[in-house]
Structure 1
Amino acid sequence: MKIVSFVTQKGGTGKSSLAVSLAVAAAESGLKAVLIDIDPQSTAEEWYKRRTAEAPAVHSISWANLSSRLYRLRQQGYDLVIVDTPGAESHAASEAMKEAHFCLLPVRPSVADIEASAPTVRHLNENAKPFAFVLNQCPTGGRTSRTANARMTLQLLGGLCDPTVAHRSDHVDALAAGLGVTEFSPYGKAADEIRAVLQWLTARLRRLDATEIADDEGGAIPLSAMS
């Protein structure tokens, strides 16, 4: 089982929207995925209340119970756990980073978002925790210079998820409907971007474990094998 925590110290980055859509895309890809909401704002929990499908489940818990809940989920054979955290420095975010195998830091292509990520990056580096930025809510159309400049800056600060996620109404509408964007508009650009982020993430998780998991045939290591 692999644990991926979404962490950021700035609100409004679209963290919860990304987390729920990524969990949905993971479930659609065949992974046994679950989302844990330790954010007091409970965005993921409220999303799940509007939802008719049972998977992926959302567990809304106190950060103090995260470790014990993860233990039970591991016993239940889950492949992927996504943890949604508060958009501020807190015990909850620190616990989520400690438990994670990998952390994703959603940031918009703005100086304010990048500067606000500094304490989180410092904490992750001090604890040797693998992480990557995810550029989210990027401008569409011809306004690409801001995104390109943000990419160059973030590549210097740490890892960067190669696919970017644009500012599209599908994310807002899907969240309101209790859906992931891959369900709301399966053939839309937003859905394609989320699937690309999932593909990048699962490949990164496999590479992280490549030195620990024996693969005698030299083929790809399935995420479900990473327990």
Structure 2
Amino acid sequence: MHVVALVTQKGGSGKSTLAVGLAVAAMAGGERVALVEADMQGTISKWKERRENPHPRVERVADPAEIEAIISRLRAEGVWLAIIDTAATNNDLAMRAIASADLSLIPARPSPADIEAAVPTLITIRRLNRRFAFILNQTPTRGCRLSEAATSLSSLGVLALPFVGQRNDHQDALGVGLGVTEFAPEGKASDEIIDLWGWVSEHLLVESDSHGQAAIKTAC
């Protein structure tokens, strides 16, 4: 099973919206997907209440010790992908999520405040020696600020592609219990989330393959 965590201490960065969008995009491939909500704000649980489709399943956690148990249970049940949504703080839940994840995604809007707020999360990830990537989220369609933010984040680590624009479809989809790829499948927001999921899945599969190759070499 693959585990992805959305983490950053900055509120309003779009973690929950991205988690939902990526989960629904991943389901389009026929895979079993679960969302793990480690954020007491409950955005994903409220989204789930508005959703008619029973998938993806949503698991809520309040205690850091619960994360490993839930991940183990989802793995045993044959879930292919778990996406953990965390609160806007570097708390114990976020640290456990990072430690459990194959890949942590750090969303940041193209502003100095967001980029500065990503640094403590980055320090935690590096201390735990975990893989990560930044996502430029809620971006304007053009402007020097976007280019400057991309340069700043690239200097700190890997930057996922594409950037995710500030588009109403994301919030409108969340409001009716849908992923943006379900709500407006022909829209630009849908294209960006599909492409972002493609980037994430490619990096997850590359990591899985490298572990498999290492196991083969060890066995030989």
Cα drift, residue 210 of structure 1: 2.5
Q: 1:144 to 1:29 in 2, by over 3 A?
A: farther
Structure 2 equivalent of residue 106 of structure 1: 107
Q: Which residue of the partner structure matches residue 184 of structure 1?
A: 183
Give, in whole Å, the separation in 1 of the partners of 2:121 and 2:19: 18
Counterpart in the other structure of 1:47: 47
Q: Percent of pairs identical after alignment? A: 43
Cα deviation 1:189-211 (Å, max 9, x = unaligned): 00000000100001111222222
**Deviations 1:163-222 (CA, angstroms, capped at 9, x unpaired):** 11000000110010010000000110000000001000011112222222249xxxxxxx
User: For 1:13 and 1:184, how far apart are their aligned partners in 2?
Assistant: 21
User: Structure 2 regions of 5+ residues with no counterpart?
Assistant: 215-220
Structure 2-normalised TM-score? 0.94
Q: How many residues align?
A: 213
Q: Deviations over 1:150-173 (max 9, x none)?
A: 111111101110211000000110
Partner of 2:217: none
Matches within 5 A, 1:39-188: 39-62=39-62, 63-140=64-141, 143-188=142-187
Q: Cα RMSD (Å) of the superposition? A: 1.2
How far 1:146 sits from its partner (Å)?
A: 1.3
Secondary structure in structure 2 of the residue aligned to 1:82: strand
- The more displaced of 162-171 and 24-33 is 24-33
Q: Give the secondary structure class of the aligned counterpart of 1:210.
A: helix
Moved over 3 A (4+): none
* Local SS of the residue matching 1:213: helix
TM-score, normalised on structure 1? 0.91
Structure 1: gaps spanning 5 or more residues: 216-227
Instruction: Determine whether 1:21 maps to 2:21.
Output: yes
